[in-house]
Amino acid sequence: MPARTVYEITTEGSRELRALRDEAFTEFELKPDPVDLALAVSADLDRELLRGYIEDRIAVLVAREQQFDHQLDRRWPDQNLADDLIVTHAKMRIRTEIDWHRNVLANIDKLETR
């Protein structure tokens, strides 16, 4: 096993890290997803082309979800509960994206066209 590199953080770096941590725990912002805008202005797209875009996005999301599954299967020596929770959070977010994209596919023929 290769030797671990240990990094030291300065006092100023520690202060900045605590400030960023506090900000991360206290602020929440739900940013618009660019795919929402793309969908909103997709009336001129052929439905099959749009379906292809959505199916491709689902394939990418499913592959990414599988990567996280493998990450959980291959624990590293100092992996802890926080690490597991972070991976689980990412997986849940990806699963929600997959479900939303599948909902778009189910409703694609109901979208307005030009």
> Per the domain annotation, does 60 fall within a domain?
yes
* Whether pLDDT at 8 is above 80: yes
pLDDT at 109: 93
* Residue-range definition of the domain harbouring residue 75: 32-110
> Per the domain annotation, does 83 fall within a domain?
yes
Helix (H) / strand (E) containing 90: helix 81-107
Mean pLDDT across the stretch 93-109?
Answer: 97
Q: For 9-67, how does the pLDDT look when each residue is reduced to its tens digit (9 = 90+)? A: 899 999 999 999 999 889 988 889 999 999 999 999 999 999 999 999 999 999 999 99
Q: Which of 95, 23, 43 is nearest to 64 (CA)?
A: 95
**Domains: count for the chain:** 1
> Per the domain annotation, does 72 fall within a domain?
yes
pLDDT at 7: 81
> Per the domain annotation, does 26 fall within a domain?
no
- Helix crossing, 81-107 with 47-73: angle to 10°? 160
